[in-house]
Amino acid sequence: MTPEAVWDVLRTVNDPEIPMVSVVDLGIIQAVVIDAIDAVDAVEGAAGGGSAVRIDMTPTFTGCPALDMMRSEIAAAVLSIGAARVDVRVVLDPPWSSDRIAPAAREAMRAIGLAPPPPATRFTADPTLALTLAAPDEPPTACPFCGSMDTVTDNPFGSTLCRSVHYCNGCRQPFEAFKAL
Amino acid sequence: MTTTTPFDLASAPADACAALDAYVLALADDALLQGHRDSEWTGLGPILEEDIAFSSMAQDEIGHALVWYTLRAEHLGAASPDEQAFRRDAAGWRNARLVELPRGDYATSLIRRTLFDIAKAIQYDSLRHSAWPPLAVAAGKLRQEKKYHLLHNQAYVRRLGTAGADSHDRLQSALDALFPAALGLFEPTAGEAALTALGVVTPSAALAAVWLGAVRELLAQSGLSAPIASVAALGGDGDGAGAGAGAGDVLRATVAPDVGGRRGEHTDDLDAMLDAMQSLYRSDPEATW
C-alpha cells in the first residue's frame, strides 16, 4: 500500500457538518505512516501480513462532536482499500488553523453560502495582553453571496462550533461563516 | 517561565509528579464545571443568540475538560475521562469555587464567564511555554479556542455595562458577588512550588497579577469597577503617591479571595451539581454510549 493510495481514499471522507469538504482539504490530517506487518505481528491476527496504517488527525475545535464520527469513517475508508490494520490517532501538535483549509474547499463553502474564513495569522501572533484586552481586529468576512466586504458579525457563535453568524449590508442577507482560528 | 530542561515524568521526583497531576486535575475540573453551568442556559437563554453562545461555550469547555482528563489518563495514571468526571465525589474535585456556584441570572453567568475566560486565556498562554511538552501542546491548542469567548464576553460586558442604569447595576452586582470567588481561580494547587521551580507552570500569583490588569482595563471600558488597587511595589522607582499605575506599581485585590476549592473544600452547591451531572452515568456505569 502506498501513502498516495491512502491520501486518495481520505479525499473521499467528508466532514459530516460540511459534507462537500474532505478531511484532507479541511487540513485535519497531519500524517500518514505505513508499516509492513511482519510475520510476528501476523500471528496476532493480521493473517498474511499486509500494511499497518497510522493516521494522525487533529481536531478543528476540541469540542467538535463530529470528531469520533470522522475518526471511524477514516478508519473504515483505509480498511476498505486493503489495510490490515488502521490506527487513527488524535494529536494536538501543531494545533489546527483555518489557514490550512484548501482553496478548493473554500470555493465549495462559498458555493453553498458558507463564507470561508479570513486569514487567522494575526491572532496567533498576539501576545497575551492583546489576546485578552483587544477585540480581535480581523478584517470583515466577505459575503459569500455578493462578495461585499461591508459585513458585520452578528454572533461569534453559530449552528456549529466552527461557524459564526454575519449580516451583509451590501445584499441585505444574513450568512454563516467558517470561523478563523 | 524560563527553562532549559524539559520535564520528564520518568526521571522527575515523585512529589513533582503528584503536583503535576493535581495541577492538571484543577484545569480539568474548572473547565468541566464551567461548561456544565453554561449548558444550563441551553433552551433558556434570554435571546436566541445568547442561548447559542452559552451552549457553544459549554461545548468548548467540555471539550477542553476532555483534553485535560485525557492527559491525566494517558500520562499520569488516572482512570478514563468518564470515570474521572462522573464517578468522583465532591471532596475529590479541585475546581475553584467560582465554577460551582449556581447559574444565577444572565448577568451573573456573563460576569462569571468573562472573569473565567480572561483567567484561562492568560493561564493557557503561559502554559504554552511549559517544560512538560504535553502540557505545552494542549495549552497552545486550547488558548486559540478562547478567542471567540473573549470576543463575545467582552463585547457584551462593554455594551451592557454602558447601556443604562438597570443593565449596569445588574452587572456590577454580579461582579461584587463573584469577585472573591474569581480570585479563588488563582489559589495554588498542592505542590505548585515544585512545578514552578522546574519551569512546568507559572506561579499562580504571577498569573493573578496579569489577570487583575486585564480585568481592570475591561471594566474601565465598561463603566464597571472591582476592588483592585495599585500598590507601590517594594524596590519600585516611584513614590507610590500618584493616582495612576507607575512602572514600579503592582495591582492587588483589596478583598479576600474565596479559596478552598483546590483543597477539595467546596460549597453545598457542588454536591447538588454533581448529583445532576453524574446521575445518568452512575445509574449504569457499564452502559455503552
pLDDT at B246: 56
Distance CA(B93)–CA(B115), nearest Å, equals 21
| Digit-coded pLDDT (tens) for B59-105 | 999 999 999 999 999 999 999 999 999 999 999 999 999 999 999 99
Residue of B nearest to A134 (CA): B151
Whole-angstrom CA distances from B263 to A2, B9, B134, B187, B188 are 53, 24, 25, 9, 9
pLDDT for residue A152 is more than 60? yes
Amino acid found at B57 = M
Distance CA(A96)–CA(A98), nearest Å, equals 7
pLDDT at A119: 82
| H-helix or E-strand spanning residue A41 | helix A39-43
C-alpha cell at B49: 443568540
Select from B64, B140, B148 the Cβ nearest to the Cβ of A157. B148
CA distance A124 to chain B (A): 7
| Digit-coded pLDDT (tens) for B113-142 | 999 999 999 999 999 999 999 999 999 999
pTM confidence score: 0.91
Contact between A23 and A29 (Cβ < 8 Å)? yes
Query: How many C-beta neighbours within 10 Å does residue B102 have?
Result: 12
Numbered residues of chain A with Cβ closer than 8 Å to any chain B Cβ: 59, 61-65, 92-93, 95-97, 123-124, 128-129, 131-133, 135-136, 154-159, 161, 164-165, 179, 181
- Cβ-Cβ contacts under 8 Å, A161 against chain B: 56, 59-60
Numbered residues of chain B with Cβ closer than 8 Å to any chain A Cβ: 49, 52-53, 55-57, 59-64, 66-67, 118, 121-122, 125-126, 137-138, 140-148, 150-152, 154-155, 210, 213-214, 217-218
Whether ipTM tops 0.90, in short, is no
Q: Are strands A163-168 and A151-155 parallel, antiparallel or unpaired?
A: antiparallel
Please give the angle made by the CA atoms of B217, B220 and B226, to the nearest 5 degrees: 85
pLDDT for residue A108 is more than 50? yes
| Digit-coded pLDDT (tens) for B5-28 | 899 999 999 999 999 999 999 999
Closest CA to B211 of B195, B228, B194: B228
Residue of A nearest to B47 (CA): A155
- Cβ-Cβ contacts under 8 Å, B150 against chain A: 131-132, 135-136
- Cβ-Cβ contacts under 8 Å, A179 against chain B: 148
- Cβ-Cβ contacts under 8 Å, B209 against chain A: none
Distance CA(A131)–CA(B154), nearest Å, equals 11
Average pLDDT on B105-112 reads 98
Q: Which residue has the higher pLDDT, A36 or A48?
A: A36
Residues 6+ apart with CB under 8 A from B105: B170, B174
Mutate to test the interface with A, among B59, B68, B202, B207 (most CBs of A within 10 A): B59
Distance CA(B60)–CA(A64), nearest Å, equals 8
Q: Would the CB atoms of A132 and B67 count as touching at under 8 Å? A: no
Residues 6+ apart with CB under 8 A from B226: B175, B179, B215, B216, B219, B253
Q: Long-range contacts: B7-10, Cβ < 8 Å, 24+?
A: B7/B130, B7/B131, B7/B132, B7/B198, B7/B199, B7/B200, B9/B75, B9/B76, B9/B132
Burial environment of residue B82 by CB neighbours within 10 A (0 to 12, 13 to 18, 19 or more) = middle
Distance CA(B59)–CA(B141), nearest Å, equals 15
Q: Would the CB atoms of A132 and B118 count as touching at under 8 Å? A: yes
- Residue A37 pairs with which residues in a beta bridge? A50
Contact between B138 and B120 (Cβ < 8 Å)? no
pLDDT for residue B1 is more than 90? no
- Confidence band for A120, pLDDT divided at 50, 70 and 90: confident
Distance CA(B122)–CA(B25), nearest Å, equals 18
| Digit-coded pLDDT (tens) for B170-204 | 999 999 999 999 999 999 999 999 999 999 999 99
Select from B49, B66, B150 the Cβ nearest to the Cβ of A155. B49
Mutate to test the interface with A, among B57, B143, B144, B289 (most CBs of A within 10 A): B144
Closest CA to B132 of B5, B264, B260, B235: B5
- Confidence band for B240, pLDDT divided at 50, 70 and 90: very low
- Cβ-Cβ contacts under 8 Å, B1 against chain A: none
Residues 6+ apart with CB under 8 A from B275: none
pLDDT at A37: 80
Rg of chain A in Å (alpha carbons) = 20
pLDDT at B239: 46
Q: Is the dihedral of CA B271, B174, A133, B55 positive or negative?
A: positive
DSSP track, A54-117 = EEEE--SSTT-TTHHHHHHHHHHHHHHTT-SEEEEEE--SSPP-GGGS-HHHHHHHHHTTEEPP
DSSP state of A38: -
Q: Would the CB atoms of B52 and A157 count as touching at under 8 Å? A: yes
